[in-house]
Every structure is written in structure tokens, then in C-alpha cells.
Amino acid sequence: MQQENEEFAVLKFRDKEVNLPVIVGTEGEIAVDIQKLRSRTGLITYDPGYGNTGSCKSTITFINGEEGILRYRGYDIRELAEKASFTEVMYLIVFGKLPKESELKEFEHDLKENAMIHEDMKKFFEGFPANAHPMAVLSSMITALSTFHPIPDDPSHFRQDIINLLAKVKTIAAYSYKKSIGQPYIYPDPNLDYVGDFLNMMFKKSPNDPYKVNPVIEKALNKLLILHAEHEQNCSASTVRMVGSSKGNLYSAISAGVSALWGPLHGGANQAVIEMLEQIHADGDNIEKYVEMAKDPNSDFRLMGFGHRVYKNFDPRALILKQAADDILNELGLQDPLLDLAKRLEEVALNDEYFIKRRLYPNVDFYSGIIYRALGIPKEMFTVMFALGRLPGWIAQWKEMREDPDFRIHRPRQIYIGETERPFVPISQR
């Protein structure tokens, strides 16, 4: 819990002076509580993009970007990625603790029991064009899912909504991929673990196909999903909270989170990495040319997958994925010019003084894009994979907000800079 603190920040403006309470988080973060600023002074704050605004108190995730620290519920991301399953991490993030053996067994049973989607939902998939972006399909289908599970908006029913989404979204994601390539849908297999079942639904070509999950691939994907599972108050998580603050149901809030994640500045960045590599490859693999363009302040070109808005050191998730990417490429023995190009670009960035000085290290998007391509997942599905991993984080954010005793609808203020009052002019006189 947060520390009790009797300090105040003093704000002076014209003839007014007000003491604003100071909040100290458990990791030493300090915030000024401005909830009563407007009522006491008539002032509001101006913070484009909310980069300096704490929108909530949370017990879910801690990030220290300067030191490259990421923890879920107090557990270091490196330990979780090496020692936990994705289902354990889902339980941890959503319910606030690592599950006991009996709790994990019940949780996994519930996920398997609820993995099927209603057969009528297949008709919705048939209504989308073959080239529909999987993120559009995913967002739409999550909203549609709520019509098949009209559970009352009551805390006693939240767990079933949570199980429905965690269980069924991987099925929806796999079906959207199958739809895009014209292959038959593969039903969930209760004999497989969560990650293995997803791979089976994605890559088994037909119900009679003797597909076997590669344990190296399953392990790598397990890590990827864990590393994507939560990341504090980012754009999509804040969107989930914003929509959920109207007491919209969990399905509508998660659907909105999917839409927010879609953008290239957020979850779409790993797709942008591959598109950048395709551009360089089409230009004769001239890495030096594009590195110089990235350094040129007058150039519009930027290297995708390097640097991070939060991490001023190496992204801790990228350190883990770098090894996972090496393992996958060695295991599969792929001959792919884009993957070769990515490794060359990584080498340049890690040794070039320009990138080192600015701490523009390869980030989680760079390595996840490489791994997804190596696994045979098309680039249009990359952001869907991100969404599948981020789902427990979104759910935890929504759940925490709804259970907050200070719950209220989100309603930011603005600084109006438009016209002052003026008379209406008849159209004949304009």
C-alpha cells in the first residue's frame, strides 16, 4: 500500500495559495494530488498526452524506465519469463497473487471448458472480406461476444466474464487467421496447454492433420505472451479504463483496448519493424543508407523497433527476447533474408556510437517481430498476438478500476482556444 505522508506541495498563483497533498508510492514515486485544485483555485493543469499525469493508483505493475525495471505484482519480469507459464502470469496479474497448485488447476480447467465460441459466431467471420485486417476482426468479435454472454453488470459475475475473455479470445484470434488464409477452423483441444492449444488452432491445417506442437516454439511464445501481458498506463490500458469508467461492460472496454493497440505507435510497432525490413531489402539490403537516414534530422525515415518512450536503458523485455530469438532461429534453421537483415541491423545499432549515446537499443517490438516472422505468423497478425498477450493486463486494469472505492467516470478537462461568442450570420450575408 502507499505510504502515509503529511507533506504538501504549495501552489501560489496571484493572491491565492493552496496546499496540495503529496502521495508517495511504495517504490518512492511522488505525486501531487490535484483533485481539489480547480475547486480551490479555479485552475486546471495542462499536460498533452498525460505524460506527467497519474490517472490512478495501481498495485499491478511497476516500471522504472531509467534502471530498466519491470515487475508484475512485485515479481521481476525476468523471473516470470524464465520460471512461470503464461496461465500462471494471467492469474497473477488478474487476481493479484501467484496461484497455488489447486487454484492453477481450477483456473486452467475453467479456461479449457470455456474455450469454444458459439457456433453462430462463425457466421460473423464469414461476413468479413478475406483481406480484413485481423485486428478489425478481433475488436468486432469481442464486442459480438458480449451478445452471447449477457451477464449482469455485477461484481459477483466478473469472474465469469474474465474467464470467457481469456478462454475465447485465443480462439477468436486463431479463427481470424484461418479465415484470412481460407483454411478450416480448428476447435480448441482440451488436452493441450493454453499456448500449445493456440499454436494448434493456428497451424493445424485440417482436423485430420497430424500437427505436433514444437516445444521450443511453445516456450518462446509463452515468453512473448508473458512479456506483453502488462505495461502500466499505456495508451490501450488507459483506453480500457476510460471506456470502463462509464460502467461499460468488460467486453466493450477490451474491444476498445484492441482498437487502441492497433496503431503503429503502440502495438502495431512490431508489424512496422517487418515493413521497414522489407523496405530496406527491396533497396538492395543497403543498411548503411538507412542508418544514415535515421541519423539525419532532416529525414522522415526512422528505424522502427529501436528506443522506447519509457525505458531510458535497455528494455528488460528485449534482453529476454534477444535470447529467445536466437534460440528460435537456431532451432528452425531458417533461411530468410529479412531475418538475416534484422540481425545485421541489430549488430549495427548495438555498436554504433550514435545509437549507444542516445540509448536507442533494440526494443521488445524489434525482437517480437523477428520471432513472429520466424514462427510463420503473418505480419498482419503480429498485433493480434500482442493483444492476446496484453489481454490479462487490460482485464486487471478494468477490474482494479471497478473495485476502486474512489471509482468515478473519466472526464478530462481542456483549454479552450477557439472563437469567443459571436452572432450567427445568415447564409445570404456570409
- In a domain? residue 60: no
Handedness of CA 168, 249, 34, 260 (dihedral sign): positive
Q: Which is catalytic among the residues 228, 231, 308, 315?
A: 308
Position 135 in a domain: yes
Examine residue 101 and state whether it is found in any structural domain, yes or no. Answer: yes
Is position 425 within any domain?
no
Distance (Å, whole) CA 33 – CA 47:
15
Residue 378's pLDDT band (cuts 50, 70, 90): confident
Indicate the pairing of strand 30-32 with strand 75-76.
Answer: unpaired
Parent domain of 325? 76-403
Cα(275)–Cα(43) distance, rounded to whole angstroms?
45
Residue 4: inside a domain? no
Least confident of 52-61, 152-161, 182-191: 152-161
> Can you read off the three cell numbers belonging to residue 43?
485552475
Distance CA 221, CA 258 (A): 20
Would you place residue 87 in the very low, low, confident or very high pLDDT band (cuts 50, 70, 90)? very high
pLDDT of residue 154: 78
Contact present, 230 and 392 (Cβ < 8 Å): yes
SS (H, E, C) the chain: CCECCCCEEEEEECCEEEEEEEEECCCCCEEECCCCHHHHHCCCCCCHHHCCCCCCCCCCEEEECCCCEEEECCEEHHHHHHHCCHHHHHHHHHHCCCCCHHHHHHHHHHHHHCCCCCCCHHHHHHHCCCCCCHHHHHHHHHHHHHHHCCCCCCHHHHHHHHHHHHHHHHHHHHHHHHHHHCCCCCCCCCCCCHHHHHHHHHHCCCCCCCCCCCHHHHHHHHHHHHHHCCCCCCHHHHHHHHHHCCCCCHHHHHHHHHHHHCCCCCCCHHHHHHHHHHHHHHCCCCHHHHHHHHHCCCCCCCCCCECCCCCCCCCHHHHHHHHHHHHHHHHHCCCCHHHHHHHHHHHHHHHCHHHHHCCCCECHHHHHHHHHHHCCCCHHHHHHHHHHHHHHHHHHHHHHHHCCCCCCCCCCCCCCCCCCCCCCCCHHHC
pTM, two decimal places: 0.92
β-strands 75-76, 69-72: how paired?
antiparallel
Are 316 and 367 a contacting pair, CB within 8 Å?
no
Q: Which of 132, 126, 90 is nearest to 262 (CA)?
A: 132
Is 160 a domain residue? yes
User: For residue 319, what pLDDT band results from cuts at 50, 70 and 90?
Assistant: confident
Query: Which pLDDT score is estimated for 186?
Result: 97
The full 3-state SS of 7-33, as one line of letters, equals CEEEEEECCEEEEEEEEECCCCCEEEC
| 26 occurs within a structural domain | no
Average pLDDT of the residues in 24-50:
93
Active-site annotation holds for 365 = yes
* Residue 308 annotated among the catalytic residues of the structure: yes
pLDDT tier, 264 (very low <50, low <70, confident <90, very high otherwise): confident
Point out the catalytic residue in the list 365, 404, 406, 410: 365
Reported as a single tens digit per residue, the pLDDT across 273-298 is: 889 999 999 999 999 999 999 999 99
Query: Which of the four pLDDT bands, split at 50, 70 and 90, describes residue 200?
Result: very high
The three three-digit cell numbers of residue 410, written as one number: 473519466
Report yes or no: 11 and 20 within 8 Å, Cβ to Cβ.
yes
What's the number of domains the chain is made of?
1
35 pLDDT higher than 70: yes
Q: What is the CATH number of the domain that holds 219?
A: 1.10.580.10
**In a domain? residue 412:** no
